[in-house]
Structure formats: structure tokens, C-alpha cells
Chains A and B, each alone.
Chain A
């Protein structure tokens, strides 16, 4: 065995504990789930092919839940990326007490979920603070969590929780862009917008990908707060895929649940794959 080959084998040994755990706890059961998704019930075990998938697709609750989840992610993730980039650019300019602001923006990370839920209820309940403010300006009260504004409330919550973290990622990326490049651009009469889009954004493409991935994870995690605030059956625009899964789990319908899980798995994989391809395309000539 050559030295290189030997070291490559050793590198697999380092990987082994994690790989074993992941296979036992996450990958192997997934195959069981695939199996479950293709049988009619756990007692008779008749193979039914994709019948369960068809049933799930035709399920109105599943459709509603997918639509809501997709809508939420499509709105909140780009918003989180754009706003945190904006905040990072703002923080880049000279303002006093920068590091304090940084801490303040990061602080939502540590607030326990339950307190977040409590405060959000105080704010957005029908009798809550926001409504109080609206009525004092002569507006009508809105039952936020039971109206079409419900998703807006959740988007705000999501942004509040995650902007700080994203912002720091962007601040770091902005400061790592070579100064010479920006100076050259200025010498060649590039406008500020041009410098921003053609140099800074391209240089940050891997950070943007990373922030998008993290935001996507966190957009799924917001379910925790939604669930604690509104329970099993919230207003229809808040009914997420996670609600669907939770309720299906409660009713012990493993077939439906397994098919839904597999569908979600495939969709998320495809999404991540596309993001990687896009990033590769834009960032390939930039040394990250």
C-alpha cells in the first residue's frame, strides 16, 4: 500500500464513528420508511407500489400544507438573505458602538422558544399590544393568528430570530473581499451599485449559499413556535407540512406519513442540489 492510499484509508477511519451512527440512526430507518410507503398496512404487508403516494398527493390537507410551507419558505428565506445582507452593509459603515449592536442582533438566538411564544402572543394576540396600538390610531382590531396576516406574523418571528446570525456571516464575508479589487473598480468608474453586484455579491456567493441553507433549516424550525402558539389545527394559512406530519403521526397512519416524508426528502434534496449548481456557476472563477 502506498503512503497516500494508507492515509486515505485512515481518513475513512476518522469518518467511521459518525458514518456508522448516521447510517444506523438516520439512513437505515429511511429505507424502512420507503418500505412502509409502499405497502398497504403493517399487518398484511401487501406491496402496493406508489398507491400511497397518489393518496397523499390527492389529500387536500397535504396540498394545503405543502402550499403553505412552500410559500413560507419562498418568502422568508430570500427575505432573510436580503435583509441580513442589507443590515451587514449598514453595519459596515461607521456607526458608534458597533459591537454592541452586533450582540443585540445576535441575542434572539438564546431566548428559549417558550418565552418567544409567550412574548409573541402578548404582541399579536387579539387583545395584544399591536392591536392596542392599531386601535389607538383608529384602526380595527385584527386577530392576527387567525387571519390572512398569520403568515406575516410568523415571517416576522423568523426574521427576528435569524437576521443577526446571517448578518454576522455577511459582515465577515464583506470584510474578506480584497480591498484592491474595489479600488480598481472605483478607478475604472464603476458605480457603487456595479461594485456591489459584480464584485461583492459574486465574491460572497458561497456565503450566500451558506446563509440560504441555514435559513432554510431555520425556516423549517419555526414550526416549533407556530405549533406552541396555535396548536394542532391552526388557521388554514398556518397549516404547515409539519402539522400534517404530526397529525398523521398521532393517528398512526404510517403509510401516509412515510410517503409524505419521502416526498419531502426528495424535494429538499433537489432544492439543495439546485442551489449548489447555481453557486458553482456564479462562484466558479472566484476563490472563496
Chain B
């Protein structure tokens, strides 16, 4: 069969287009599989929170069988992963919200710790990052490096220093022990400085020539330009402290002061039948923040990487 050049080109273009479609299809399929894996834990937590305690025990009891003495419920040998409950009940929520005030109490503890920490850490970090970004010098770069190293330290390294300071300042065992360490954490300073350094020095110089003092440059120029960063860093800091486990365990011997995150990590082994509902309740604030602030978060994260520390 003889084809004209035009025809051949036409067919080639069609093939290319088809290859393109297939490629897009494969990539999309891969992304869907990946996304499903990523979402599974959240979906599982939410759907399982509507199961009755006996259904939970029947499904997952074998994992925690050793910790439950004389369980009367039927426990299957292996775990059943069930996405959809046999019967939707709110009994977990009923127990958590109405019959066990300690959960709400701990939830309130979490709020009391996290909100001030986010606000104050960000305030201090904003000021500090302006200090780092303006008038770069050798000493400042060395200090900044120290901040990075400190931020990188696993909590277990700072555990002894924290413990010593808390004892020395007589804040050990109280809420201030958690607050003060949170306020001065170098994490937000590091992220904010990356933002601030993106702002061209010329802009600030221009403002200075127009008669703005440093405070005005900070409030009128740098702060508005860092709005996206502010939101995203706030979200990250919030997520971090909302999930804190180690600090309260070390600094707060009185478990009445513990946030829900610590408490939640304990019920996993004890009252597993309620664990899902408590987890969902605990998930709500981060979820709301995530849904509301996701665009800021993405925008903010996008800006973080771009500049040399």
C-alpha cells in the first residue's frame, strides 16, 4: 500500500497522540494508586469511628489481645480490615463526648498549649527573621547556623537541657514548662528567615530613603509580603505541637496536665474500641485548618525552598 507523505504524517501524529494519551493514563493511574495509599489511614480512622466497640474488638482485638485481660468478646485470629462498618453507630462518640469527660478535658489542654505557642513563636520568629535578613553579617550567619543545628537536634538531645532549665527556673511540672520551650523554638525562625530573605534589599532601601524607619519597613513592607509564609508556618507549627508526645512526658509528671496527644497514644493499647472516635475528634482541628489553609500551606511551602539559608 502506498501512502502519500501527508497521510504518513497524519498517522504518525495520531500515533503520537495516542501514545500521549496512554502515557497520561498510566501516570494518572499510578497517581491514583499512590493517593489511595496515602489516604487509606485517614479514611480508615474515620469510617471505623462509626463501628460499635464490639465490632472493633472483633476486628482488631487480636493485635491488642495480650493487653486485654479476659476479653469476653469474640476475637478473630487475624485482623479484619473493614472500611465500612456492619452497622453505623455513634456509640463511640457518645461514650467519648458524654460519658468520659476526661477526653474533652485533655482536648482543652491541647488547645491551651498549642494556641499560645503558635502565636508567640510566630511573633518572636517574625521579629528575629527580620533581624537575620536585614544587615547580613558574619556573626549573624554563624548564629543562624547554630539555629539550624539546634532545630535539627532530636528532642532526646535537648531533653536534659530542657529538664535542667525547667528545674532551675522552677517551671518544671507546670504549663509554663511547655509554653516557654515552645515560644523560643528556632523552627519558625528558620522558615521565616527563608521568606524574609526573598524580599529584595532594594525594596527596603527604597522605603528607607523615603523616610521609613526600620519598624515601618518591618510592619509595612516585610509583614505583608510574608503573609503566605505566616499562614503556612503557623500551620506547620500547629501540626507539630498538636502531636507533641515527648515534652509533656518529660516535663509534666502530673498526667492531668497532659494534652490529648499523650493520652491518645495510651488508649491505643487500652481502650482500642474508643481510639478511633477520639482520633477523629482530635483530627478535626487540623483537618479544618488544613482544608481552610491548604492553599496558603502549599503556597508557603513552595516559597520555603527557594532561597539559600
Contact = CB atoms under 8 A, between A and B. Distances in A.
Given A7-B134, A90-B31, A117-B268, A249 B160 contact: yes
A45 interface: no
Contact of A172 (B27, B34, B137, B305): B305
B239 interface: yes
B286 interface: yes
Nearest to A211: B305
Nearest to A6: B214
Contact of A206 (B34, B40, B308): B308
Interface string A101-134: 1111111111111111111011001011101100
A27 B153 CA distance: 12
Contact of B159 (A94, A211, A245): A245
A114 B275 contact: yes
B180 A112 contact: no
Nearest to B267: A114
A192 B163 CA distance: 54
B308 A279 contact: yes
A131 B290 contact: no
A42 B117 CA distance: 33
Interface stretch (A54-62, A146-154, A181-189, A262-270): A262-270
B283 A112 contact: yes
Interface string A259-288: 001001100110011001001000100001
A199 interface: no
Q: Give the interface residue-count category, chain B.
A: 35 or more
Q: Give the interface residue-count category, chain A.
A: 35 or more
B62 A127 contact: yes
Contacts of A169: 301-302, 304-305
A114 B279 contact: yes
Contacts of B157: 245, 261, 264-265
Contacts of A258: 160
Contacts of A24: 165, 184
B156 interface: yes
B135 A8 contact: yes
B63 A121 contact: yes
Given A10-B214, A279-B308, A26 B301 contact: no
A119 B44 contact: yes
Given A18-B128, A122-B63, A168-B302, A104 B308 contact: no
B261 A112 contact: yes
A283 B308 CA distance: 9
A235 interface: no
A132 B145 CA distance: 48
A231 B236 CA distance: 27
A257 interface: yes
Contacts of B24: 93-95
A223 interface: yes
B98 interface: no
Contacts of B150: 22, 26-27
B73 interface: no
Nearest to A113: B243
Given A25-B181, A249-B159, A11 B130 contact: yes
B229 interface: no
Given A110-B287, A206-B305, 16 more contacts: A14-B128, A14-B214, A15-B131, A18-B125, A25-B165, A25-B184, A33-B160, A110-B289, A113-B261, A115-B279, A119-B40, A119-B41, A127-B78, A224-B245, A249-B159, A265-B153
19 contacts: A11-B214, A14-B214, A15-B128, A17-B127, A26-B186, A33-B161, A91-B31, A94-B24, A110-B286, A112-B243, A112-B264, A112-B279, A113-B265, A114-B282, A115-B41, A129-B79, A129-B81, A173-B306, A246-B159
Interface of B: 23-24, 27-28, 30-31, 34-35, 37-42, 44-45, 60, 62-63, 77-79, 81, 124-125, 127-128, 130-132, 134-135, 137, 140, 143, 145-165, 180-181, 183-184, 186, 189, 194, 208, 214, 218, 236, 239, 242-243, 245-246, 250, 261, 264-265, 267-268, 272, 275-276, 279, 282-283, 286-287, 289-290, 294, 297-298, 301-309
